[in-house]
Amino acid sequence: MATHDIALSDTGQPLGPLAERGWSLHCSKGTGADAIVSDLGKLADRLGTRVAGRAGALEEVIEPHGADDAHPRSLSARYGLEALPFHTELSHRTRPCRYLLLGCIDPGSPAAATTLLDWRTLGFSSEELDLLEGTPVLVRSGRRSFYSTILAPGGAFLRYDPGCLEAVNQRGRMALALIGDRIATASPQAHHWRQGDILIIDNWRVLHGRSPSDQGSSRRLARILIDV
């Protein structure tokens, strides 16, 4: 899988690129965790309303977890410190959050990149889009599990997370295999974090993942999730 680095010159751009390509890169002026989290919050509140993540907090600091100490239904529980596969944040909710904001408190050493992939660049034909929009799959979320489709009506968002989506019939298996195959041959972008970097991701359009990490790499990202 070829990966392209995001150019340094992208730093500090306004929100225009978010609409154009589905993500934008900003730079916090502060260096301490409090300043970075505060700048992240200011950007987040320009976009919509904060929603709680899996642990119930409106603002979180995430670190690479080994499989043993991760949330039992999270991707980390399955993949641990290996590369985290591309996914839509909060796929296990009926409507995944619209934006995901990440701010780098510490890139860690060795550092792990965040990878980005616009699902609209995956080249789905109209028949394939029909398959993704018309095939029910099971979204596993404990007692709140439900049936949904990978592609929302009209293509409003793509729900994809190998940790919680499960086929219930042959067409569902085809739909999940189709996405997996396209992702495997795609050319995603990789953002290599520096302290103070803030990434805004349109979660309805751009899938994200993480390159492999290391236990105790000290990588710490602040995360805020936004609904509109």
Span near Fe ion by CB under 5 A; candidates 14-22, 83-91, 195-203, 219-227: 83-91
Binding mask 40-79 for Fe ion (x = CB under 5 A): ----------------------------------------
Residues 126-145 contacting Fe ion, CB under 5 A: none
* Pick 135 or 157: Cβ nearer Fe ion: 157
CA-based nearest residue to 89, from 129, 116, 109, 122: 116
Residue with tokens 């990978």: 150
Report the residue number, 39 or 89, with the smaller CB distance to Fe ion: 89
Cβ 89 to Fe ion shortest distance, Å: 5
List the end-to-end C-alpha distance of the chain, in Å, as a whole number: 33
Token pair for 86: 């591309």
Buried b (16+ CB within 10 A) or exposed e, 140-177: bbeeeeeebbbbbeeeebbbbbbbbbebeeeebeebbe
Contacts of 130 (CB under 8 A, 6+ apart): none
User: Which residue lies nearer to Fe ion by CB, 25 or 116?
Assistant: 116
Measured from the CB atom, the residue of 74 and 135 that comes closer to Fe ion is 74
Residue span binding Fe ion (CB under 5 A) among the ranges 52-60, 84-92, 106-114, 196-204 = 84-92
- Residue 96 corresponds to which tokens in the numbers above? 């995944």
Does position 89 bind Fe ion by CB under 5 A?
Answer: yes
Shortest spacing between CB 218 and Fe ion, in angstroms: 19
**Cis (ω within 30 of 0) for the bond into 96?**
no
The token pair at 16 is: 């225009």
Closest distance to Fe ion from the beta carbon of 161 (Å): 9
Span from 40-48, 88-96, 199-207, 219-227 in contact with Fe ion (CB under 5 A): 88-96
- Measure the CA–CA gap between 38 and 226, rounded to whole angstroms: 15
How far, in Å, CA of 189 to CA of 113, rounded?
10
Q: Cβ 163 to Fe ion, closest distance in Å?
A: 10
Q: Which residues make up the interface to Fe ion (CB under 5 A)?
A: 89
